[in-house]
Structure 1
Amino acid sequence: MPEILITLIKIIAIVFVFVMGLASLLTLFGDRKLSAKVQNRVGPMQAQFFGQSLAGIPHFLSDAVKMIFKEHVAPKGAHKFLYAIAPSLVFIPMLLGWAVIPFMDHYCVGEVQVLANYQEVCHGEYKNYFQIMNFNSGLLFAFAIASVSVYGAAIAGWASNSKFSMLGGLRSTAQMISYEVSLGLSLAGILLIYSTLDFNQMVLEQGTMLWGWIPLWGIVMQPVAFFIFFLAGMAETKRAPFDLPEGESEIVAGYHTEYSSMNFGIIQLSEYAATIFIAALITVIFLGGWQVPYLYADGFYFGGIADPALHIELPYIVTTVLRVVAMLSKIVFIVWLQFMMRWTLPRFRYDQVMVLGWKILLPLSLANLVITAIIVAIF
Structure 2
Amino acid sequence: MTLLEVVLRAVAALAAFLVLPLLVGQAEHKVMAHMQGRLGPMYAGGFHGWAQLVADGVKFVQKEDIVPAAADRWVFRLAPAVALVPYLVALATLPVHPGVAAVEVPGSVLLVLAATSVGALGTLMAGWSSANKYSLIGGLRAAAQLVSYELPVVLAVASVALAGGSLSLAGLVEAWSPWWLLWQLPGAVVFLVAAVAELQRPPFDMPVADAELVMGAWTEYTGLRFAFFLLAEYAGIVVMSLLFTTLWLGGWHGPFSDALGWLWFLLKGFVVSLVVVWVRVAWPRLREDQLQRMAWLWLVPLALGQLLLTGVGVVVGW
State whether residues 120 and 199 of structure 2, in contact with CA within 8 Å, keep that contact through their aligned partners in structure 1: no
2:151 equivalent in structure 1: 181
**Map of 1:124-135 to 2, 5 A cutoff?**
130-135=100-105
Partner of 1:37: 34
Distance in 2 between residues matched to 1:36 and 1:224, nearest whole Å: 31
Code of the residue aligned with 1:228 in structure 2: it is: V
Task: Indicate if the aligned counterparts of 1:75 and 1:258 stay in contact, CA closer than 8 A.
Answer: yes
Which residue of structure 2 lines up, in the alignment, with residue 11 of structure 1?
10
**How big is each residue's C-alpha offset from its partner over 1:41-75, in whole Å with a ceiling of 9 and x where there is no partner?**
32222x545xxx32112322221111111100111
Judged with a 3 Å threshold, the aligned counterparts in structure 2 of structure 1 residues 289 and 48 are, in CA distance, closer, same or farther, namely: closer
1:145 aligns with 2:115: yes
The answer for the alignment partner of 2:195 in structure 1 is: 233
Q: CA-atom RMSD, angstroms?
A: 1.5
What is the identity percentage for the equivalent residue pairs of Structure 1 and Structure 2? Answer: 30
1:252 paired to 2:250: no
Distance, in Å, in 1 between the alignment partners of 2:223 and 2:192 is: 32
Q: How does 1:49-198 map to 2 (within 5 A)?
A: 49=45, 53-106=46-99, 130-198=100-168
- Report which of the two has the higher share of strand: 1
CA distance in structure 2 between the partners assigned to 1:65 and 1:320 by the alignment:
40
Please report how far the alpha carbon of residue 173 of structure 1 lies from its aligned counterpart in structure 2 after TM superposition.
1.1
Letter in 2 for 1:153: T
- Show structure 1 runs of 4+ deviating over 4 A: none
C-alpha separation in 1, matches of 2:179 and 2:137: 44
Q: Which residue of 2 aligns with 1:25?
A: 23
Q: Secondary structure at the match of 1:187?
A: helix
In structure 2, what is the Cα distance between the partners aligned to 1:195 and 1:264? 41
Name the structure 1 match of 2:284: 346
**Whose Rg is larger?**
1
Residue 210 of structure 2 corresponds to residue 201 of structure 1: no
Match of 1:362 in 2: 300
* Residue pair 1:15, 1:98 contacting (<8 A) in 2 also: no
Larger relative contact order (Cα-Cα within 8 Å, sequence gap ≥ 6): 2
- The one-letter code matched in structure 2 to 1:21 is V
> Residue by residue, what CA displacement relative to the aligned partner does 1:294-345 show, whole Å, maximum 9, x if unpaired?
x4xxx6xxxxxxxxxxxxxxxxxxx433111100100111001110111111
The alpha-carbon deviation at position 155 of structure 1 amounts to: 1.1
The size of the alignment, in residue pairs, is 317
Structure 2 gaps, min length 5: none
Provide the rounded CA distance (Å) in 2 between the counterparts of 1:320 and 1:15: 24
TM-score of the aligned structures, taking structure 2 as reference length: 0.95
Give me the whole-angstrom Cα distance separating, in 1, the residues matched to 2:303 and 2:233. 25
Structure ranking higher in helix proportion: 2
Structure 1, unmatched stretches of 5+, are 107-129, 209-214, 300-318
Distance 1:372 1:27, change over 3 A: closer
What TM-score do the two structures reach when normalised by structure 1? Answer: 0.80
Q: Which amino acid aligns with 1:105?
A: P
